[in-house]
Amino acid sequence: MKGLAFVAFVLLAASATATAFGARSGQPPIFATPLAAATVQQPYSITIRKPGDVIIVRVKVAPGGSFGWHSHRSAVAVVVMSGTLTLYDSNGCSAKTFGRGQGFVEPANHVHLARNEGSAPVLLYATYLGSPHGANPNVPATQPTGCNV
């Protein structure tokens, strides 16, 4: 699945809160209610090995809460619903912040750290896209050399 197609789907779903999909005469309509929507600034593509699971989680991160250094077995699309999440990349230890309505995609096996450095809780939805069937989608990682955050 190409990143642009996924983002287009999310935007379509966000605009379809009271719109029926595929309704044919005489059949009940299908309604979609978005749980989360975000703008993603980075291009991306993913590869899924069969069988792959799609897992959607709702996560609340208290102020000061950290996921620790980790990676994922598959690509993960994240939507920040509230608060501000700081994401540290293992390559150069650079930081990016994501607030309400913003999102990002982490590629599979990429080491990073995310934490709430603000004073309000962070609420986010994460969608694991093709995690190996039955495996824990998160993999703890060691702190990269020279990255003391």
Query: Which CATH number applies to 36-140?
Result: 2.60.120.10
- Residue 95 has a CB neighbour count (10 Å cut-off) of 13
pLDDT in tens, 56-82: 999 999 999 999 999 999 999 999 999
CA angle 144–148–149, rounded 5-degree value? 105
Q: What residue segments make up the domains of the chain, in order of their start?
A: 36-140
List pLDDT tens digits, range 27-62: 778 887 888 888 888 887 888 778 889 999 999 999
pLDDT at 100 exceeding the cut of 90 = yes
The string of pLDDT tens digits covering residues 110-142 is 999 999 999 999 999 999 999 999 899 999 999
Across the strands, what pairs with 135? none
What is the C-alpha separation between 124 and 115, in angstroms, rounded?
12
Name beta bridge partners: 88: 95, 113
This prediction has a pTM of 0.79
The residue to which tokens 């913003």 are assigned: 102
- The predicted pLDDT at position 12 comes to 37
The string over 4-18, giving b where at least 16 C-beta atoms fall within 10 Å of a residue's C-beta and e elsewhere, is eebbeebeebeeeee
- Three-state secondary structure along the chain? CEHHHHHHHHHHHHCCCCCEECCCCCCCCEECCCCCCCEECCCCECCCCCCEEEEEEEEEECCCCECCCEEECCEEEEEEEECCEEEEECCCCCEEEECCCEEEEECCCCCEEEECCCCCCEEEEEEEEEEECCCCCEEECCCCCCCCC
